[in-house]
Amino acid sequence: MRAVRLALRTLAREWRSGELGVLLLALAVAVGALTGVGFLVGRIGAAVALQAVSVLGADIRLSSPQPLGAEYLDAAAHRGLRSSSTTTLLSVVFNGEASQLTDIEAVTAGYPLRGRVLVADAPFAPGVPVQGIPAPGEVWPASKLLAAVGGTVGGQLSIGAASFRVAHVLISRPDQGGTFAELSPSLIMNAVDLPATRLIQPGSRVTYAALFAGDRTRIDSFEGWLRAHKRAGERLRDISDATPQVRNAVDRAGRFLSLASLVSVLLCAIAVAMAARRYVHRHLDTVALLKTLGATRGFTLAVALLQLLALALLAALLGSALGFVAQEWLLRTIRGLLATPELPPVTATPIAVGFLTALAVLTGFALPALTQLGRVPAVRVLRRDVGPPPLRTLLAFGPAIAVVLLLIWWMVPERRLFLWVSAGLAAFVAVLAIAGAVLVAVAGRLRGRVGVAWRYGVANLARRRAESLVQLVAFGTGIMVLLLLGIIRADLNSDWRRTLPPDLPNYFFINIPPDQRAGFIAYLHGLGARTTRVLPMIRGRLIAINGVSVEATQRGREERGGFATREQNLTWTAELGADNRIVAGRWWTPADSGKPLVSLASEFQESLGLQLGDRLTFDIAGESVEATVASVRKVKWDSFQPNFFIVFAPGVLEGAAGTYLTSAYFSAGTARSLAPLARRFPSVSIFDIDELLAEVRGVLDKAALAVQSVFMFTLLAGFTVLLAAVQSSRDERRYESAMLRTLGASRGTVAQGVLAEFATLGALAGLLAAAGAAVGAFYLTREWLELRYAFELWPWLAGICGGALLVAAGGWLATRSVVRQPPLTTLRA
């Protein structure tokens, strides 16, 4: 209790001395970096889960080709769950003579239970959420349907034996599916109108579904009941069936961002260690005095520990607030990445994590130095030269390393990845530190050629080598990542189409019926388009490799793109396109026609670890087809021509029912004339590549921005290191400044020296950063984005000038009180 009182009482006063401020700031930035990412990943994760259920339009969905019994809805109502029903069927919708095959969904009140229906008052307009379902006698057709049949809002459409008024245009509904093959336009109507259409006849292909949603625990128990009671042929889907890839991606992105925030945490930890050292140094006398007055070793340690604990708590709170604000800002910038416009609220977990992190950082980086306080001999009150025995190396660095490894393990609890990240981090810091040491040494050599203020500043850098290096690494890392992401974003945003051949295809057409193929191509030519090859496309699933079921062999490989279990698009062709290059095996000759041979794209082959001669079995429309791997192709995907992972030799799959796809180039003016094309070939789906790519680039750009903002914390962490370093050299600086001014230097000269020191430090960090960013950008643009890397001057200029300005400003703010102090005050003290 006595220790608590003394700890709190002195803590408040200690605040003025500064080290605690730096310590708190460093801890708060560390916690902020971690919790910011924690909040963000938590919310996006929850949003993705919500999005996943909204794909179902419910928490669970029971569907069947037969009408569902009323007992399910009764049971759900009995358990306090919400429910709704849908009836889906394919039928033709007419507007006068014009018709379109449509996915008609008749819904009951409450639909959808999860997610939202967006409607508009004109085709292709931005959608707004709508409450309720179409009134009886009204329908909401999708934009494409309305355009295809030439209908208008307020007009009439015929479905079967009934006629309906178009009340709104349907922009999207949650359970619309999304695969290329299921792209018939949809229409929502009220279920009470369904009998009047007389569409449902014996033998009609109809899907009946019941949707349920509600409280998680009730849903779980209801799901158990449903599994036990549902009849054969009734299919149950829940959140775990919905979009596992997206959740995987979020997990991985979260892990990456956490690791990125770890860099800030580590830098802050260094600042904490520096501040703690200075704190200990300044408190040796006080502790010796306390001991003289009768305090035991345990008491003095308890006081220090309690102060740390209070700091950790405060830092966790401040840091969490910082993290929350950062996360809110970040979410605003990446909003478009998420399909759900509203995000679930944050949870408290990251705050707890933040507190534990603050405690861990203090334990690893401040506690070893603090234990020194307990070892100060009381006799120091009489003899100032007596201090505590030096810390043993193991005790000085052991806890810090242990804490860093613990943090990494907590973020990547996987042995291999953990070792990679740890080793990578150590190597990265080592390379940066060595490069920094060289730069400092070179700068030191050059100082003879500059004026007195600069010489004094640069000499300071060399003299406080260790501190200079830590700051170089800190700022270097922060600036490097910001520059690197800047370069990548600039690459993404640059109009890179200009670097590609101008007549590259800009539209894809899929689902071309075989009997309309010739007519369609001729029509395209008639519009002035330049078409590419036309390839057949059928759907199939890989079920076995060399006779062994894929389920058994590929379980561990799920993450690598899900190639094995995903339904694939297959094609066959006799000709190898110019954008395909055989890297193993051989392409077929006319003599191979009809032989069960298959050629694989290298991505597919590598992902599944396949080899030439392997036998692959596909399930194509219920029939097994086996083929031998005859060749592996490297595909140039950016040719924007139809290309497939899996290509069969001709004469094998011709019997299977499929459609065709092609791509074409339209010059800018002709794109408008695609509307009549959509009307003339209603089943053909059109994809505007430029639009798709713009969307993909937008996603990448926002992701890069998110990463960039996480590294803003790294820069902030760099500042805490700078503050800690200035603090630890404050007495020395004060003395030097007083000496210089006594010797006749003006305040301006001393200030110039300080500015020179920090500007040089910043410029060196910027130089280091620009070099690192150039190497990183070279690698990333070539290997990852597969773009051409062009050398750019701006990152070097921005790095060096920006670094110099930034660090000089920070250093000046941190030292100005030292420079301003009159020399007499210092020399008298």
Instruction: Dig out the tokens for 53 from the structure.
Output: 């259920």
Cβ(326)–Cβ(715) under 8 Å?
no
CA pair distance 713, 23, nearest whole angstrom: 16
Segment lying near another protein (by CB under 8 A), choices 375-383, 421-429, 457-465, 609-617 = 375-383
Segment lying near another protein (by CB under 8 A), choices 12-20, 421-429, 584-592, 736-744 = 12-20
CA pair distance 706, 700, nearest whole angstrom: 10
CB of 4 to another protein, least distance (A): 11
If one counts every other C-beta atom within 10 angstroms of the C-beta of residue 742, the result is 12
Measured from the CB atom, the residue of 15 and 124 that comes closer to another protein is 15
Select from 4, 8, 9, 528 the one that contacts another protein (CB under 8 A): 9
**Residue 377 near another protein by CB under 8 A:** yes
Segment lying near another protein (by CB under 8 A), choices 22-30, 312-320, 357-365, 381-389 = 381-389
Measured from the CB atom, the residue of 603 and 731 that comes closer to another protein is 731
**Residue 383 near another protein by CB under 8 A:** yes
Instruction: Dig out the tokens for 759 from the structure.
Output: 């500007």
DSSP 613: T
For residue 798, with 0-12 CB atoms within 10 Å meaning exposed, 13-18 middle and 19 or more buried, which class applies? buried
Measured from the CB atom, the residue of 297 and 465 that comes closer to another protein is 297
Measured from the CB atom, the residue of 290 and 524 that comes closer to another protein is 290
Residue ranges in 62-173 assigned as alpha helix (H): 70-78, 143-149
**Residue 390 near another protein by CB under 8 A:** no
Instruction: Dig out the tokens for 667 from the structure.
Output: 């010059």
For residue 188, with 0-12 CB atoms within 10 Å meaning exposed, 13-18 middle and 19 or more buried, which class applies? buried
Measured from the CB atom, the residue of 300 and 781 that comes closer to another protein is 300
CB of 305 to another protein, least distance (A): 17
Select from 152, 204, 292, 667 the one that contacts another protein (CB under 8 A): 292
Select from 162, 352, 378, 674 the one that contacts another protein (CB under 8 A): 378
CA pair distance 97, 117, nearest whole angstrom: 29
Measured from the CB atom, the residue of 390 and 519 that comes closer to another protein is 390
Q: Which residues make Cβ contacts (< 8 Å) with residue 57, sequence separation at least 6? A: 86, 111, 112, 113, 114, 115, 173, 174, 175, 211
Segment lying near another protein (by CB under 8 A), choices 243-251, 293-301, 542-550, 777-785 = 293-301
Q: 3-class secondary structure for 412-424? A: CCCHHHHHHHHHH
Segment lying near another protein (by CB under 8 A), choices 284-292, 448-456, 556-564, 657-665 = 284-292
Residue 484's nearest CA partner among 707, 268, 327 is 707
Place of tokens 């889906």: 88
CA pair distance 770, 794, nearest whole angstrom: 9
CB of 829 to another protein, least distance (A): 11
CA pair distance 52, 245, nearest whole angstrom: 11
**Residue 828 near another protein by CB under 8 A:** no
**Residue 379 near another protein by CB under 8 A:** yes
CB of 724 to another protein, least distance (A): 20
CB of 19 to another protein, least distance (A): 12
Size of the chain in residues: 829
CB of 386 to another protein, least distance (A): 9
Residue 572's nearest CA partner among 535, 521, 540 is 535
Instruction: Dig out the tokens for 329 from the structure.
Output: 């800002």
Segment lying near another protein (by CB under 8 A), choices 6-14, 241-249, 321-329, 626-634 = 6-14
Q: Which of residues 506-565 bind another protein (CB under 8 A)?
A: none
Measured from the CB atom, the residue of 383 and 525 that comes closer to another protein is 383
Total residues contacting another protein by CB under 8 A comes to 27
CB of 296 to another protein, least distance (A): 4
Segment lying near another protein (by CB under 8 A), choices 11-19, 75-83, 444-452, 536-544 = 11-19
Cβ(722)–Cβ(807) under 8 Å?
yes
Select from 153, 289, 337, 527 the one that contacts another protein (CB under 8 A): 289
Backbone phi, then psi, for 396, in 5-degree steps? -70, -40
CB of 730 to another protein, least distance (A): 16
Q: Which helix (H) or strand (E) holds 535?
A: strand 535-545
**Residue 5 near another protein by CB under 8 A:** yes
Measured from the CB atom, the residue of 180 and 299 that comes closer to another protein is 299
Burial 621-644 (b: 16+ CB within 10 A, else e): eeeebebbbbbbbebeeebbbbbb
**Residue 596 near another protein by CB under 8 A:** no
**Residue 299 near another protein by CB under 8 A:** yes
Instruction: Dig out the tokens for 755 from the structure.
Output: 């500015």
Residue 710's nearest CA partner among 275, 334, 248 is 334
| Alpha-carbon torsion (767, 769, 772, 777), positive or negative | negative
**Residue 20 near another protein by CB under 8 A:** no
Instruction: Dig out the tokens for 645 from the structure.
Output: 């992972």
Q: Which residues make Cβ contacts (< 8 Å) with residue 405, sequence separation at least 6? A: 422
**Residue 825 near another protein by CB under 8 A:** no
By three-state DSSP, how is residue 120 classified?
strand
Select from 286, 531, 593, 628 the one that contacts another protein (CB under 8 A): 286
Site string for another protein, 438-457 (x = CB under 8 A): --------------------
Half-sphere exposure for 444 (CA within 13 Å, toward CB):
14
**Residue 817 near another protein by CB under 8 A:** no
Measured from the CB atom, the residue of 306 and 459 that comes closer to another protein is 306
CB of 12 to another protein, least distance (A): 8
**Residue 291 near another protein by CB under 8 A:** yes
By three-state DSSP, how is residue 170 classified?
strand
Backbone phi, then psi, for 705, in 5-degree steps? -65, -40
Measured from the CB atom, the residue of 294 and 744 that comes closer to another protein is 294
Rg (CA), the chain: 34
Measured from the CB atom, the residue of 20 and 647 that comes closer to another protein is 20
CB of 213 to another protein, least distance (A): 60
Q: Which helix (H) or strand (E) holds 770?
A: helix 747-779
**Residue 290 near another protein by CB under 8 A:** yes
Q: What is the largest CA-CA distance in the chain?
A: 107
CB of 381 to another protein, least distance (A): 6
Residue type, 465: R
Q: Which of residues 241-280 bind another protein (CB under 8 A)?
A: none
**Residue 293 near another protein by CB under 8 A:** yes
**Residue 381 near another protein by CB under 8 A:** yes
Segment lying near another protein (by CB under 8 A), choices 95-103, 188-196, 287-295, 744-752 = 287-295
Segment lying near another protein (by CB under 8 A), choices 248-256, 291-299, 477-485, 791-799 = 291-299
Select from 79, 230, 297, 615 the one that contacts another protein (CB under 8 A): 297
**Residue 296 near another protein by CB under 8 A:** yes
Task: Name the site residues for another protein (rule: CB under 8 A).
Answer: 2, 5-6, 9-10, 13-14, 17, 285-286, 289-299, 377-379, 381-383
